[in-house]
Amino acid sequence: MDFAFSEREEAFRREVEDFITGELPPDWTGKNIHWPGGYGTLTQFEELSPEVERFTRRLAEKGWLTISWPREYGGAGLSHTEQAIFHERMSYHRAPAGEVATLIGGPTIMLFGSDEMKREWLPRIARGETRFWLGYSEPNTGSDLASMQTRAVEDGDDLIINGQKIWGTAAHVAHYAWMAVRTDTTAAPHRGISLVIVDNRSPGISIRPLVNICGLHSFNEVFFDNVRVPKKNIVGEMNKGWYYLMLALDFERLVVPIGGFKRTFEEILQYAVETKHNGQALSRQPSIRNKLASIAIQIEIAYTFFWRAAWMLDRGLVPNIEASVLKLVTTELSQKLANAAMQVMGHYGPLTGASKWAALRGRVCSGYLDCISALVGAGTSEIQRNIIAIRGLGLPAK
Amino acid sequence: MDLGLSEEQEMLKASARDFLQKECPKQLVRQLDESEEGYSSELWQKMANQGWMGLVFPEEYGGTGGSFMDLTVLLEEMGHNIVPGPFFSTVVLAALTILTAGSEEQKMELLPKVAGGKAILSFALTEPTASYDAASVRTKADARNGEFVINGTKLFVLNANVADYIVCVARTAETANPEEGISIFLVEARSPGVRCTLLDTLARDKQCEVVFEDVSVSAKNMIGGLGQGWPIVQGVLQKATVAKCAEMVGGAQAALDMAVDYAKERVQFGRPIGSFQAIQHYCANMVTDVSGSRFITYKAAWKVSQGLPAAMDVAIAKAWTGEAYGRVTLLAHQIFGAIGFTMDHDMHLYYRQAKAGEIIFGDSDFQRAIVARELGL
């Protein structure tokens, strides 16, 4: 075994680090209050500030916006370990690193899209010009995703869509919906689903904001009333959408804000060392030391799963258990970290960033709220445990 | 980065598993647990013939020059099977002390015997304070006429009841800094004045009280310099802590394997209980704990093996693995239900090991205190 990075990997890590620190706006990680694992404080989705746009353009020029893509489609042609190094550093600096189009849409089009579709979409995505939002969930379709009811019927060269999607993160600032619709109501639920790309500006679409418990507009409800979409926007074959959608989960395995946990923990650690109560640093209190040590240990555990998953992917192994465990342990860590931070900070923890007394810009206050979403989004903890048990350990499904 | 075992390590792992399945069935484990000696001389000799005792000794001392990583791989398999006996005390605690700090003469004298299965060693550090700090070493060794005379009580000493030699950590000087004034002695277990009493324990792991009463030891039996003992002890404890983690990882894997197999076979309400989500989630939690423990333990083992600073990684591994093994065995018991609560079932063997492993070399609170210190708090 060798837990050290190779020289090439070290050099790449330095290159990534230099790029990020050189290109991010000053004090970006201080200003960005994203809580690791949470979905409600992803500021790059909340408002596409000119700063984020500029950074995204620079990333695209460098070829790192689509870092996981093969070279022929404008990717960087890197190993999974190198991609993991990239994601680790980016998340450590809370840098915006891609979204639905670069992480899910593009890779799926590469595998299943027609040549025309590849020509039409891939270059635009790689240049950072086209952003998607994810239209999977519906009001009555959460963990049981295959039960979705938003309907698309064929009409000449078009599909006509009727229905409602929910939790469309950043739908209000994205350009297109990457969505799943029901195209066959007679087949088994998962055999009647298709993937389709829908222009946000199409007549019949209305987007309504959902304000999350952090007080931020990150989610949306999106209504489809006889929305007409050209059939050429169907991804791959009709009624194969479920299959594509499941495979696409594999693309996201290493997109975990692993470095964000380390960064936020370091900030809390520093707070504990620098803050004195009655002349004694908080970090001298045994209960606080024990609490912080416990978090440090769990971050280290999460990292081992992260590197392990990357290492396995590089060897052509499928990290079924490791990837789900990575999701599980990091999201649970999101809540534990928020709780520990509250304990360390006492009365100062619940102060919002608006207060002049706030510490760490109020990130613990919003993080304590946002961490609720970590265990729910992108497959609940319960769904992850099902995957580990059935796919990983081979336990019977029925 | 390479997170895989080498081909040789994979072979060692596979051969150890095969060997133990054949030579150390659970029936023998129970028999030895219940016996006073706690080991089988026949199995001991066979393990020596496999090259296990000398795995990490250089060839000139009768070993095969393996790395600490190799030993970690072996110990995981031993923990998986459960192998009652003095391997840990002999090889990991005592022999590594001698290998690290012993004189050439001591190494030539003892290590080949250990490698050949001809000597059993014990390591006497802890005392009634039950702590792993230097101040807790109260047993005295007084210089007298070119010899040392040891007086004191050592407690929780593994396998002293069957040892040929006891490596004894004693205080040779009272100093302001408790980490100074500690020396290590090689004591023949049958020396006059050594009195050993077996303790009855949860894991039936043959811990002893060893009373030293005016035990004379020649000055040439000192391991390392006078008053230089504590750093040596710390180094050995670090290795032993990782080694114990490796055993625990193996044991936790065994508990997981047993429980998953059972969950696939046991039928209730007309379906395998493993198809119930509650059981699936228990299993998912177990595999999360087992894999995490393994990855973190091997990282610590790698650092130790490479001679890199490892205090933080070792403490993290022990803090996590100790508690994880406990969680895993508890969930496995839950899956086995009533049958697992019987003496005839194997589960309790692991449940016992888990608690013993969590406590030895410092429990998780103790380890977290080290982590906090290493974090700069």
Compute the nearest-CA separation of B204 from chain A (Å): 30
pLDDT of residue A30: 83
Q: Across the A/B interface, how many CB contacts are shorter than 8 Å?
A: 147
Tokens linked to A397: 């499904």
Residue B215 has pLDDT above 80, yes or no: yes
Cβ–Cβ contact A398 with B under 8 A: yes
pLDDT tens by residue, A200-233: 999 999 999 988 888 888 889 999 999 999 999 9
Give dist(CA A107, CA A132) in Å, integer.
13
pLDDT of residue A74: 80
Domain assignment present for B136: yes
Domain assignment present for B98: yes
User: What is the number of structural domains in chain B?
Assistant: 3
Domain assignment present for B49: yes
pLDDT of residue A286: 92
Among residues B86, B119, B152, which one ends one of the domains? B119
Residue A45 has pLDDT above 60, yes or no: no
Give dist(CA B97, CA B110) in Å, integer.
12
Q: Is residue B159 located within the same domain as residue B193? A: yes
Cβ–Cβ contact B10 with A under 8 A: no
Cβ–Cβ contact B371 with A under 8 A: yes
- DSSP β-bridge partners for residue B56: none
Give dist(CA A173, CA A323) in Å, integer.
30
Out of A32-36, A305-309, B177-181, which region has the weakest mean confidence (pLDDT)? A32-36
Cβ–Cβ contact A11 with B under 8 A: no
| Window A:275-304, CB contacts with B under 8 Å | 283-284, 286, 288-290, 292-294, 296-298, 300-301, 304
| A289: nearest CB among B69, B291, B377 | B377
Q: Is residue B109 located within the same domain as residue B167? A: no
CA-based nearest residue in chain A for residue B269 = A398
Closest CA to B17 of B50, B45, B48, B44: B50
**A12, A325, A393: which to substitute to probe chain B, counting the most B Cβ within 10 Å?**
A393
Q: How far is CA A121 from the centre of its chain?
A: 21
Whether residue A388 and residue B275 make contact (CB cut-off 8 A), yes or no, is no
Average pLDDT over residues A58-87: 90
CA-based nearest residue in chain B for residue A398 = B275
Residue A44 has pLDDT above 70, yes or no: no
Compute the nearest-CA separation of B316 from chain A (Å): 5
Domain assignment present for B354: yes
Q: Is residue B210 located within the same domain as residue B264? A: no
pLDDT of residue A49: 76
Q: Is residue B184 located within the same domain as residue B309? A: no
Whether residue B2 and residue A396 make contact (CB cut-off 8 A), yes or no, is no
Contacts of B376 in chain A (CB under 8 A): 269, 273
Q: Is residue B357 located within the same domain as residue B242? A: yes
- DSSP three-state, residue A342: helix
CA-based nearest residue in chain B for residue A4 = B1
Fold of A7-126: Butyryl-Coa Dehydrogenase, subunit A; domain 1 (1.10.540)
pLDDT of residue A48: 61
Q: Is residue B145 located within the same domain as residue B130? A: yes
Tell me the average pLDDT of chain B: 96
Q: Is residue B256 located within the same domain as residue B270? A: yes
CA-based nearest residue in chain A for residue B372 = A293
8 A C-beta contact, residue A258 and residue A306 = yes
| Window B:127-146, CB contacts with A under 8 Å | none
Cβ–Cβ contact A390 with B under 8 A: yes
Whether residue A1 and residue B260 make contact (CB cut-off 8 A), yes or no, is no
Kindly name the residue from A9, A23, A120, A252 that is annotated as catalytic.
Answer: A252
Contacts of B5 in chain A (CB under 8 A): 1
**DSSP label at A102?**
I
A252 tagged catalytic? yes
Domain assignment present for B87: yes
Which residue range forms the structural domain that includes residue B260? 231-374
Cβ–Cβ contact A306 with B under 8 A: no
Whether residue B3 and residue A301 make contact (CB cut-off 8 A), yes or no, is no
Write the ipTM.
Answer: 0.80
| Window B:250-289, CB contacts with A under 8 Å | 260, 263-264, 271-272, 274-275, 277, 279-281, 283-285, 287-288
Whether residue B288 and residue A325 make contact (CB cut-off 8 A), yes or no, is yes
Residue A161 sits at φ, ψ, to 5 deg, of -105, 135
- DSSP three-state, residue A381: helix
pLDDT tens by residue, B256-285: 999 999 999 999 988 999 999 999 999 999
Cβ–Cβ contact A7 with B under 8 A: no
Average pLDDT over residues B336-348: 90
| CATH superfamily membership of A132-248 | Butyryl-CoA Dehydrogenase, subunit A, domain 2 (2.40.110.10)
Q: 3-state SS of B219-282?
A: HHHEECCCCEHHHHHHHHHHHHHHHHHHHHHHHHHHHHHHHHHHHHHCEECCEEHHHCHHHHHH
Among residues B227, B259, B275, which one ends one of the domains? B227
Cβ–Cβ contact B226 with A under 8 A: no
| Window A:56-95, CB contacts with B under 8 Å | 81
Residue owning tokens 């083992």: B301
Domain assignment present for B2: no
Residue B342 has pLDDT above 90, yes or no: no
| pTM score | 0.87
Cβ–Cβ contact B242 with A under 8 A: no
- The more confidently predicted of residues A397 and B61 is B61
Contacts of A322 in chain B (CB under 8 A): 291
Give dist(CA B201, CA B178) in Å, integer.
30
Average pLDDT over residues B190-208: 95
Fold of A251-392: Butyryl-CoA Dehydrogenase, subunit A; domain 3 (1.20.140)
Compute the nearest-CA separation of B267 from chain A (Å): 11
Q: How far is CA B89 from the centre of its chain?
A: 7
Per-residue confidence band for A43, with pLDDT thresholds at 50, 70 and 90: low
Give dist(CA B46, CA B41) in Å, integer.
9
∠ at Cα B195 (B189, B201), nearest 5°? 95
Alpha carbon distances (Å) from A199 to A116, A182, A205, A224: 17, 18, 9, 12
Domain assignment present for B1: no
Average pLDDT over residues A131-156: 93
Tell me the average pLDDT of chain A: 91
Cβ–Cβ contact B338 with A under 8 A: no
Helices marked H in chain A: 7-23, 28-31, 43-46, 50-62, 80-92, 100, 106-112, 115-126, 241-248, 258-274, 286-314, 320-345, 363-374, 381-387
Contacts of A273 in chain B (CB under 8 A): 376-377
Residue B371 has pLDDT above 90, yes or no: yes
Compute the nearest-CA separation of A34 from chain B (Å): 24
Q: Is residue B359 located within the same domain as residue B267? A: yes
pLDDT tens by residue, B113-136: 999 999 999 999 999 998 899 999
Q: Per residue in B250-283, is it b (16+ CB within 10 Å) or e — as a string?
A: bbbbbbbebbbebbbebeeeeebbbbbeebbbbb
pLDDT tens by residue, B277-311: 999 999 999 999 999 999 999 999 999 999 999 99
Tokens linked to A142: 């959460």
Tokens linked to B31: 């028999």
Q: Report CA Rg, chain A.
A: 22
Among residues B209, B227, B245, which one ends one of the domains? B227
Domain assignment present for B365: yes
Tokens linked to B317: 């591994």
Q: Is residue B47 located within the same domain as residue B177? A: no
Give dist(CA A220, CA A167) in Å, integer.
5
Return the amino acid letter for A105. Answer: G
Give dist(CA B189, CA B14) in Å, integer.
36
Per-residue confidence band for B192, with pLDDT thresholds at 50, 70 and 90: very high
Q: Is residue B269 located within the same domain as residue B201? A: no
CA-based nearest residue in chain A for residue B315 = A297
Contacts of B311 in chain A (CB under 8 A): none
Residue A46 has pLDDT above 70, yes or no: no
Whether residue B365 and residue A290 make contact (CB cut-off 8 A), yes or no, is yes
